[in-house]
Structure 1
Amino acid sequence: MSYRRLHYHLVWATYRRRPTITRDVERSIHRTLRNKARELKVFVYAIGNVEDHIHLAISILSTIAVAECIRHLKGASSYIVNREHAGIDFAWQTGYGAFTSGDRDKPMVVTYVRNQKRHHGAGTTLSDLERTPDDENEEREE
């Protein structure tokens, strides 16, 4: 049996960076991400967001690829938002940012993810941890 401890900081944006993550939508997204992660045997340390993008600090087992895990998380959350919040026409952009960290950096990443609203409000974001694919050329992912 193999042993692996990999921590990821994931970030992805709403379609065309539309500010569609309201407080109600946020609750649906967070709940769905935690439920889907449990189903995938992914451990969620923290979820944070602002109106147009979301961050997760997670650990993924070796039984699922990072891209596959993200596909499931994005798909489940957009499905639930559109089902529970009629009229929003919610979607994520294709692509994502994925960053690895070790045990030593994990507390900093978890704190950063949890405090997204504060960081964005105060202008204290870390550009290296905010990177997503080019917003202008993105397609819709549901």
Structure 2
Amino acid sequence: MTTEVRHSKPWRNTRTHGKYYTQLYVHIVFSVKGRHALIPECHKAELHKYITGILTNKKQKLIQINSMPDHIHILVGMTPDTALSGLVKDIKVNSTRFINQKRWTAGQFAWQAGFGAFSYSHSQIPKVAAYIENQERHHSRRTFREEYLAFLEHFGVAYDMKYVFDSVADLPSEE
């Protein structure tokens, strides 16, 4: 049996000039505030390119990005010295400013207050990237709400329905 040895370029920590080797893959998901369909097909590529620039400037490795009219998925290889919440905040603040400056919506565009983030191993990356790439097909069978709740369940994330989505109208009806 032959063992394949793979050499990869380490992430460089510019503050200490030390080297470390990591594989931190995170699938980030967040929606448009109120889950309104405000990301039109004609602007998706431009939005994705802009977010790619944010990630590149933050020294993160974009693996896959795709959006639907009401939400976005981003698969990123992260450096260990980057705070996930800070990275998501940078993406949301800057892309919100970009969308509002472009006047893609009649009113003010905003993302939801929170986000979901799910970690994967290296061997799962091709499957996750394909999942993100094929969002249109997935959403022909399942809503974003169903998809997001399935992620939370699959990853064993404890949650309170009062806080998962933006409004009380998003809560399931009591029958």
Superposition TM-score, scaled by structure 2 size? 0.71
Cα–Cα, structure 1 residues 80 and 63, in superposed 2: closer, same or farther, change >3 Å? same
Residue 137 of structure 1 deviates from its aligned partner by 4.4
Tell me which residue corresponds to 2:73: 55
Asked if residue 135 in structure 1 is aligned to residue 162 in structure 2, the reply is no
Unaligned runs of 5+ in 2: 1-18, 169-175
Name which of 106, 124, 128 aligns with 2:125. 106
The answer to whether the 8 A contact 1:47-1:57 is kept is: yes
Amino acid paired to 1:60: M
**Whole-Å Cα distance in 1 between the matches of residues 142 and 112 of structure 2?**
24
Larger radius of gyration: 2
Matches of residues 2-81 of structure 1 in structure 2 within 5 Å? Answer: 2-81=20-99
Q: Give the number of aligned pairs.
A: 138
1:18-59 Cα deviation digits (max 9, x unpaired): 110102332332111001011001111111111110001111
**Whole-Å Cα distance in 1 between the matches of residues 44 and 33 of structure 2?**
15
Instruction: Name the structure, 1 or 2, with higher relative contact order (CA <8 Å, separation 6+).
Output: 1
CA RMSD of aligned residues (A): 2.4
Cα–Cα, structure 1 residues 121 and 107, in superposed 2: closer, same or farther, change >3 Å? same
Secondary structure in structure 2 of the residue aligned to 1:57 = strand
**Whole-Å Cα distance in 2 between the matches of residues 55 and 10 of structure 1?**
6
Larger strand percent: 1
Moved more, 129-138 or 30-39: 129-138
Query: Percent identity over the alignment?
Result: 26
Cα–Cα, structure 1 residues 28 and 90, in superposed 2: closer, same or farther, change >3 Å? farther
Superposition TM-score, scaled by structure 1 size? 0.86
The answer to whether the 8 A contact 2:33-2:166 is kept is: no
**Whole-Å Cα distance in 1 between the matches of residues 94 and 58 of structure 2?**
12
Secondary structure in structure 2 of the residue aligned to 1:5 = coil
Shift >6 Å, 4+ stretches: 129-132
**Whole-Å Cα distance in 1 between the matches of residues 98 and 61 of structure 2?**
20
Secondary structure in structure 2 of the residue aligned to 1:63 = coil
Residue 2 of structure 1 deviates from its aligned partner by 2.0
Name which of 109, 117, 142 aligns with 2:136. 117
Unaligned runs of 5+ in 1: none
